[in-house]
Chains A and B, each alone.
Chain A
């Protein structure tokens, strides 16, 4: 067990944990932020996506020991009240079915729009294809991303 400091959503958390603990479980179990989801544990589904200094990463693949002072943003940090343009677009297009994967989808989409404010269909496909949605809301997600890009909300 070692001591770690994590900067999550502009707040510093101190924790004592095994150094190999994936960031996902640190965020969910030790810190208690439940918006970041577990889907596969092998980086294949994207449900656990968070931003590390603005870059989307799979938190299930990132041991807490490798994080050094980077800023971590989870869905709760994007906007707790749903005011981020991507969250608003998701609500506008009524995207969710079961909703479980959507926080991961939103985190990836937010990163895409930051880098590519006006993405083509192909940009969206390329950037979003690491995020699985078993309910099949893909066409709606694409529309929501385009809606967010166009309307800047």
Chain B
């Protein structure tokens, strides 16, 4: 192979602009200030990286580096996103070097880890980046050989001209390619042409994980770094009044003890700025153990908060938020929710004349479902490194959407936006908790005060008791049934603390001529957060348990009844805003019937349950089989069918689905964060039960629907419906319906 060893250095940026239909436009802009460095010797290939688009770097040794733009929480996008680039770039995957991109949203455009959207949002832009770079490399070869572009092909990181038997590696072409104009509208492959997408590629960080390399924020260390911990109020509804740190300051290794107000007075919070305790006592010192010990010696006086109102940002707007005073309790919450159920709620959707049908009904089936607060409990507790200097505001942080914390940093740390640098550390789990980066502001304030690099560390107890929980919910499902055992109307009514989980346009909306959805909200001083499949993680469980009971009541097979209803929406959909695709829904139900051997299962004395749900643009059906063990059910088998469009990395995707199944079963059987007099009753894993090895399903059988639909969500969709499949199977095993999470409470009674 002929090698040209010029090295150029030039930057390019891939421009991705949102367009109104939710799609992406792609283009390039260039920084024109960097000239090719032609002084470099032809004889010595260098490892200088040449940038081709913001995502690809190639050096003269033909090493290829791909950047994974999105923060990694454990969904393995650090493997699947670069696979999209590699597919179109046409390189050997085994030789690729993958790097985590740091916070540089102008360069990477979408650094968004949330809503199961990573692959969906990157599907066209990242492939286009790969295809564009490939075409530039081909163009460079075409120019050099003086042959038309269309006569060239590529294979495994090299350009070929078969007519003259010539070839050049990408490494040899990168420099010349990087100074070419960016081609427009480069075609990407047809789905049938994929050679990498759809194959199993192992986690690119696998070896670093199993050898314990320092990948996480908690592992980050710098010379002269101090450790800081916070003391927050012991109960929601309390705040700092005063503290005395005289004894604690005398403890070994302690540098300073002071208080911080995280957000400034009057700061208007955005949607992801949620925080529970704004006024904290901070202990800063040399080592974790020394800070932990000193923290116990600080004498703190707390006082009750007063009711307050503030304007806060929410998705797509603003609202006035009321924070009531008082010490709340789970018991009180339940009482209040039951009271709200008796009052008229806000009408969310109304089709036909449901009131009339309920008056006329021969029978009415009405059931009420509840679920408690849940703590996210990612295995790595919250931590954040910060070093604020005049030159820059540097962070190492676990943060799902770094772009959204920018204005918060600017406003509350008084630093210019262009001085912000965030190293996106691998996250030891997130489940939604790390959308809310208040801890970055806390760390920044401490660094400013100490004039030093610091790492803020939350203990498990700190994290579990500082709030931002999954809301607690209540909902009633009511069906009017006529003399022919036909369901004539559905009424859904519910809400939560502090928000409702009702998705009024989801199934079974659209399947009934007469339908009513009502919601309400109860303000609280316990702030909440998105938790894996927000809202859906409760409402799916309620809806799909109710449909199970309803199908039994009217004497129909639960799968057949769901398909019958979906078929009805297909033929004559009621209302205009139904947000699901009945065909894909029916598809997963039919497939799960087949894969679980449903008809034969019904002839056995096995205990099983089914559920299906649509969220995050994907469709999932599960069949859970279980038996009753001592202390907890034994989950014998879970059969899962998911329609998430094209699957990029099937084994990685399977791992995600298995995890969501375990997570759903675990949280609904055991998970609960209860409060009494404002105080969380669970502080650590001895009180907060997490599903363990011996309680996990013995077998999880995952099947993907094969189709040509662009990838839709994967991390969240399998989570909500498995809760209902479990509840429905528990009914078969015990003869009791399970309405209240965690199910373990009723299982033991």
Q: Which residues of A contact B (CB under 8 A)?
A: 1, 17-18, 20-22, 25, 28-30, 32-42, 44-45, 47, 74-76, 79-82, 87, 90-91, 94-103, 106, 121, 124-126, 128-142
Bound CA span A135–B206, Å: 15
Assess whether B42 is interfacial by the CB under 8 Å rule: no
Q: Which residues of B contact A (CB under 8 A)?
A: 73-76, 200, 202-203, 205-207, 209-216, 218-219, 221, 227, 252, 287-290, 293, 377-381, 426-431, 459-461, 651-652, 655-656, 658-663, 666, 684-686, 690-694, 696-700
Residues of B close to A37: CB separation below 8 A: 218, 379-380, 428
Bound CA span A18–B294, Å: 13
Q: Which of A95, A97, A99, A121 has the most CB of B within 10 A?
A: A99
Q: Beyond A90-B206, A99-B428, A102-B209, is A121–B252 a contact (Cβ under 8 Å)?
A: no
Which residue of chain A is the closest to B251 with respect to CB atoms? A18
Q: Beyond A82-B210, A134-B377, A136-B658, is A121–B698 a contact (Cβ under 8 Å)?
A: yes
Bound CA span A40–B380, Å: 9
Bound CA span A17–B380, Å: 25
The 4 A-B residue pairs with the shortest CB-CB distance, nearest first, are A35-B212, A136-B662, A98-B74, A100-B428
Bound CA span A104–B419, Å: 38
Q: Are A142 and B427 in contact (CB under 8 A)?
A: no
Q: Are B697 and A98 in contact (CB under 8 A)?
A: no
Q: Are A30 and B211 in contact (CB under 8 A)?
A: no
Residues of A close to B659: CB separation below 8 A: 97, 135-137
Q: Beyond A99-B205, A102-B210, is A136–B660 a contact (Cβ under 8 Å)?
A: yes
Q: Are A129 and B694 in contact (CB under 8 A)?
A: yes
Q: Beyond A82-B211, A136-B662, is A100–B216 a contact (Cβ under 8 Å)?
A: yes
Q: Please classify the interface of chain B as helix (H, G, I), strand (E, B), loop, or mixed, using the class held by over half of its residues.
A: loop
Residues of A close to B209: CB separation below 8 A: 90, 96, 99, 102-103
User: Looking at the complex, which one of B74, B252, B287, B293 makes contact with A97 (CB distance below 8 Å)?
Assistant: B74
Q: Are A128 and B693 in contact (CB under 8 A)?
A: yes
Residues of B close to A134: CB separation below 8 A: 377-379, 429, 431, 663, 690
Q: Beyond A30-B287, A132-B379, A134-B379, is A80–B211 a contact (Cβ under 8 Å)?
A: yes
Bound CA span A135–B656, Å: 8
Q: Are B214 and A34 in contact (CB under 8 A)?
A: yes
Which residue of chain B is the closest to A83 with respect to CB atoms? B211
Q: Are A140 and B684 in contact (CB under 8 A)?
A: no
Residues of B close to A41: CB separation below 8 A: 459-461, 684
Q: Are A38 and B691 in contact (CB under 8 A)?
A: no
Bound CA span A35–B216, Å: 10
Bound CA span A79–B207, Å: 11
Q: Are B428 and A136 in contact (CB under 8 A)?
A: no
**Cβ distance A134 to chain B, nearest Cβ, rounded Å:** 5
Q: Are A135 and B663 in contact (CB under 8 A)?
A: yes
Q: Are A136 and B210 in contact (CB under 8 A)?
A: no
Q: Are A126 and B694 in contact (CB under 8 A)?
A: yes
Which residue of chain B is the closest to A128 with respect to CB atoms? B693
Q: Are A35 and B213 in contact (CB under 8 A)?
A: yes
**Cβ distance A70 to chain B, nearest Cβ, rounded Å:** 20
Q: Are A45 and B207 in contact (CB under 8 A)?
A: no
For this complex, 21 residue pairs linking A to B, each with C-beta atoms less than 8 Å apart, are: A1-B252, A18-B289, A29-B227, A34-B219, A35-B211, A40-B460, A41-B461, A74-B212, A81-B211, A87-B211, A90-B206, A91-B207, A98-B379, A98-B428, A98-B430, A99-B74, A100-B380, A102-B209, A121-B698, A134-B429, A136-B663
**Cβ distance A84 to chain B, nearest Cβ, rounded Å:** 9
**Cβ distance B671 to chain A, nearest Cβ, rounded Å:** 11
Which residue of chain B is the closest to A36 with respect to CB atoms? B212
Bound CA span A88–B465, Å: 38
Q: Are B696 and A136 in contact (CB under 8 A)?
A: yes
Q: Are A141 and B288 in contact (CB under 8 A)?
A: no
Bound CA span A25–B74, Å: 25
User: Looking at the complex, which one of B202, B212, B215, B662 makes contact with A94 (CB distance below 8 Å)?
Assistant: B202
Q: Are B697 and A139 in contact (CB under 8 A)?
A: yes
Q: Which of B205, B380, B663 has the most CB of A within 10 A?
A: B380
Q: Are B289 and A21 in contact (CB under 8 A)?
A: yes
Which residue of chain B is the closest to A141 with respect to CB atoms? B693
Q: Are B460 and A25 in contact (CB under 8 A)?
A: no
Residues of B close to A81: CB separation below 8 A: 211
Q: Which of B378, B663, B685 has the most CB of A within 10 A?
A: B685
Residues of B close to A22: CB separation below 8 A: 289
Q: Are A98 and B73 in contact (CB under 8 A)?
A: yes
Which residue of chain B is the closest to A35 with respect to CB atoms? B212
Q: Are B655 and A138 in contact (CB under 8 A)?
A: no
Known: A41-B460, A99-B428. 5 other contacts (CB 8 A): A17-B289, A21-B289, A98-B73, A136-B658, A139-B699
User: Looking at the complex, which one of B213, B215, B693 makes contact with A142 (CB distance below 8 Å)?
Assistant: B693
Bound CA span A20–B288, Å: 13
Which residue of chain B is the closest to A86 with respect to CB atoms? B210
Q: Are B211 and A94 in contact (CB under 8 A)?
A: no
User: Looking at the complex, which one of B75, B211, B218, B252 makes contact with A18 (CB distance below 8 Å)?
Assistant: B252
Q: Are B693 and A103 in contact (CB under 8 A)?
A: no
Residues of A close to B699: CB separation below 8 A: 139
User: Looking at the complex, which one of B288, B429, B700 makes contact with A139 (CB distance below 8 Å)?
Assistant: B700
Which residue of chain A is the closest to B649 with respect to CB atoms? A94
**Cβ distance B216 to chain A, nearest Cβ, rounded Å:** 6
User: Looking at the complex, which one of A79, A97, A131 makes contact with B211 (CB distance below 8 Å)?
Assistant: A79
Q: Which of A1, A45, A134, A138 has the most CB of B within 10 A?
A: A134
Q: Are B692 and A129 in contact (CB under 8 A)?
A: yes
**Cβ distance A17 to chain B, nearest Cβ, rounded Å:** 8
Q: Are A25 and B288 in contact (CB under 8 A)?
A: yes
Q: Beyond A25-B288, A32-B221, is A75–B211 a contact (Cβ under 8 Å)?
A: yes
Bound CA span A74–B214, Å: 14
Bound CA span A138–B660, Å: 11
